Structure 1
Amino acid sequence: MTRPMRRRAALVPIVASAGALALLLTGCGGGGGGASSAATQFTYLINSENTTIPGQLTALADDQCKAENTALPLKVETVPQTNLDQKLQLLAGQNSLPVMYAAGNAPDLTKTLDKSGNVVDFEKALTDLGAIDDIEPAAVSTIKALYGGKFNVLPYQYNIEGIWYNKQIFADAGIEVPQTWDELVAAADTISKTGVTPFAASGEQGWPLTRLVGDYLFRDLGPDALQKVADGDAKLTDPEYVKAAAAVADLGAKGYFGQGVGSIDYDTAAQQFLTGKAAMFYMGSWILDSMNNPDANKIGSDNVGFMPFPAVDGGKGSIDEYPANVGLPSTLNAKVYDDKVGAWLGCIAENYGSAALQSEGSISGFKANTEVTGVAPLTQEIQTTISKSTSSVLWFEALFSTKATTTSQTNAAQLVTGAISPEDFMKLVQADLDN
């Protein structure tokens, strides 16, 4: 994921076509170009839009990983994200993938590369290096959920999602942080009577609304709720799944998203919260840049709280399972993995988390193993939350096809405005999943 955000267009997934994947498998099959030779450089292919990860690795190469860099010098190569999948397919077909590379815009491409022997098994590699404990368990959980139970990408980026709330609005209304869905609805009702919009949300993007549907399902039916749909063991049109869409639609029917939610874009929704016009904002931790920016955050970062999506009474899910994603992850080429590459991997695992947090305030799925100072309190709060978490869930469309994802997100606003019923919303998405 995948952060399906307009502001972070560099991370929007682009699914490789079935034909392209078939060609990739053919190119990497038994008649391919033979085993890759040992690497002479630690080459890294990444999308050109991402400058944070290369910058951090370059800094490590000059400091904590200097010895590893002397043995195998870091060399960063870039390609526009829109061309990434095509480039990976071409290189794989030529048996010429670099040592490390951005893993593709969709999990299916990485799974295909894995089948053709181009992806390192990080559970084994990091265990062999004694570095498996340098990875946050929640990040491993997210990766395995996305990649068919395998730990085969590195979490240079890691985001959890939840509800940001205005502490002052809550205090003025006498509201405690909701622990259950019913308490959340009651809080929204109390807030709406004060003239403040309970929830800021972008109907134009759609996914901030469908996230709520997915989270309700995870809390009600358990963390495997959408895996069952992907496996064909359940359908979105089943009554217990429609219930989740109905719960979110009811928020809209009561006016809790305010006026004109269907025409509100991401930036406007964020501004509503950051200027105190809305009490709550469901969003991922990538919003921390804005939360910590006094020019953008007019309510003040010390007035912002973060809570998990609440429990559903009688539900099978846990409030401690945060929806999460790993951005556009990277992986290592198994065909050139050797002791020198392993040394780099061990050094990255030990040092990247602290270095990125210290220099950029950037949260990753690597543990911060050394003391970090001067980090914004909100960022530190999220980092601590991640460190305490042992498992995670995905998001509503994580396992959907591209077509079903588009249908879901383009119809989200109609769901909360009452233009379509919860039953019809789920029917539309399930129809694309069935085809």
Structure 2
Amino acid sequence: MRKRTLMFSAGAVALTLTLSACSMFNDNSDTQSDAAGGKTGQNAPILLTIRHTQVKDTQKKRLAMLQEVVKATEAKVPGLTITLDGVEDKVNRFEKLRAEMAAGNPPEVFDLFGGTDTKDYVKANRLLDLTPILQELGLTDKFYSFDEFTVNGKIYGIPMAGYVEGLYYNKKILADQGIQAPQTWAELVAAAAKLKAAKITPFAMAAKDSWVINMMINTMWVRTAGTDSIEGFLNGSKHWTDPDVLKAFEQYQSLIQKDYFQDGSLALAYAEQQNTFSSGGAAFMFDGSWANTPLLDPEKSVIAQHVGFMNFPTMGGPGDGFINGGWSNAYGFSQKVTPEQLIAIKEFIKQMYTESMQKRQLVEEGMPPAMKLQDTNQVNPLITEILNVFAKSKGTFPAFDSRIQTKVREKLERGMQELLGGRTDPASLMADLQKQQEASNKEETHSK
């Protein structure tokens, strides 16, 4: 991978619904122009629904920014009324939006995940081609990447912000224990042992929400097996049972067996992971850049002045130095909109994707920008640290769940919970995963 340039100059219950088969959506949807019908007349009512995922207490500032954009858009388009529909992000992605896409009635604007989700919806003829709109508005060259939303050379989603996953650490705890930020797996394990001996929880962990537990192991198997491992699983050149993949899961199990994770994690929801870390109850926490907001809130965090961020330590494999990051969340738009709604959508894009709004997201919420910013003053030191870690990585790789099939993802999620609970072992889990991978690959081939 090409080394990333510095970004300064520069996100439930999953349904087993499979969207890759076009027959599932065979409702003979009209094209955008056909669905439009005739014009409704000047200043006639225009209605838009925007599905967003800013529903948590920690996302109030993001919601306020969206509300400002909505107000500005309505002011620019006579007769326009926009309804905001807030849905928790995993519920939106795995339940609500999938069901709406299957039925052919998604909202006009919605939070869209890149990779496989986008490709499935494009195949089903559900997404608006944004390529000409971005060109018309002069935005095509102002973003870091549209890769996760590009299908057959056309763009179907506009990223809202970037993300990066890594290891948060409590600088004060480490300093008090005479521990340097670990750069290798051996140093991380030694630090965990010393912390446990001092009766300090090494890793904050909440595994009730199954996607949470898979963030760290995703990075670990990329460390040991390489950044091309996911594509290898999909095309059959790589297997979950390969020794270099199995090695990462065995090393993860060693952390479990030594009780280095937070007690009772299988019963804890995601927020409890952040609560434990922000209250000073653990030395490390593997999480995404989006987690910085509550950690920096002095009213909710006792470690606001002591939190650091680093790339996961090296493990002696081909994926060392790479980082899970990119631009996976975007606004997508229904292919089935009227000409009047399309005018409103263009205005929404103009109001949402500006230097000012991207700068506010960065400064107020610590969200890595999707657009190339000219001004990066007033950024919190932790955000600067996160962006620098992103920039100095050898390259990026996407989250596995943006590429892997739904049934494989679900098998891994359940399997990791079973591993954490001592109900399976790495070899058995990898064998089960490989069987499901082969079945899913075969099913995909037959559907083409």
- How far 1:166 sits from its partner (Å)? 0.6
- Equivalent residues in 2 for 1:419-430, closer than 5 Å: 419-430=423-434
CA offsets 1:309-353 (integer angstroms, 9 cap, x no match): 22222x2225242345634x3213467687885565355333431
Change beyond 3 A, Cα 1:156–1:401: same
Looking at structure 1, the residues matched to 290 and 20 of structure 2 have their Cα atoms a distance apart, in angstroms, of: 34
Aligned to 2:5: none
Q: 2:110 aligns with which of 94, 102, 105?
A: 102
Which residue matches 2:164? 160
Partner Cα distance (1:156, 1:175) in 2: 37
Amino acid in the other structure paired with 2:65: Q
1:208-260 per-position Cα deviation (integer Å, ceiling 9, x unaligned): 33322211122233222112112232221122211111111122223322544
Residues 388-399 of structure 1 aligned to structure 2 (within 5 Å): 392-399=396-403
2:25 corresponds to which residue?
24
Structure 2 counterpart of 1:84, from 97, 100, 111: 97
By how many angstroms is 1:142 displaced? 5.1
Task: Say if 1:414 and 1:420, in contact at 8 Å, map to a contact too.
Answer: yes
Pair 1:75 & 2:82 matched: yes
Instruction: Give the structure 2 partner of residue 111 of structure 1.
Output: 119
CA separation in 2, counterparts of 1:44 and 1:383? Answer: 35
Q: Share of identical aligned residues, percent?
A: 23
The answer to whether the 8 A contact 2:77-2:344 is kept is: no
What is the aligned counterpart of 2:306 among 284, 303, 306? 303
Does the 8 Å contact 1:249/1:422 carry over to 2?
Answer: yes
Q: Which amino acid aligns with 1:382?
A: I
Q: Within 2, Cα distance between the matches of 1:231 and 1:134?
A: 33
State the Cα deviation string for residues 12-54 of structure 1 (Å, max 9, x = none).
6545445995242442379x99364698888643336546667
Q: Hey, what does 1:330 align to over in structure 2? A: 331
Deviates more, 1:387-396 or 1:234-243: 387-396
CA contact (8 A) 2:232 2:238 kept: yes
1: CA distance, partners of 2:272 / 2:344: 48
* Structure 1: gaps of 5 or more residues: 1-7
> Is 1:185 matched with 2:189?
yes
Query: Alignment partner of 1:276: what SS?
Result: coil
SS at match of 1:208: helix
> For residues 295 and 212 of structure 1, do their structure 2 counterparts lie closer, same or farther at Cα, with a shift above 3 Å needed?
same
Supply the RMSD in Å over aligned alpha carbons.
4.0
Separation in 2 of the partners of 1:121 and 1:388? 34
Aligned length: 410
Report which stretch shifted further, 169-178 or 346-355: 346-355
Deviates more, 1:191-200 or 1:83-92: 83-92
In 2 relative to 1, CA 259–78 (structure 1 residues): closer, same or farther, beyond 3 Å?
closer
Which stretches in structure 2 are left out of the alignment for 5+ residues? 1-10, 440-448
Work out the CA distance in 2 between the residues paired with 1:310 and 1:149: 36
1:33-78 Cα offsets, whole Å, 9 max, x none, are 9364698888643336546667534423656x788x3479463353
TM-score (norm 1): 0.76
SS in 2 for 1:86: helix
- TM-score, structure 2 normalization: 0.75
Q: Do structure 1's residue 354 and structure 2's residue 362 form an aligned pair? A: no
The verdict on how the C-alpha distance between 1:259 and 1:71 changes in structure 2, with shifts beyond 3 A counting, is closer
Distance 2:211 2:53 in 1: 22
The answer to whether residue 68 in structure 2 is matched with residue 59 in structure 1 is: yes
Change (3 A) 1:428 1:149: farther
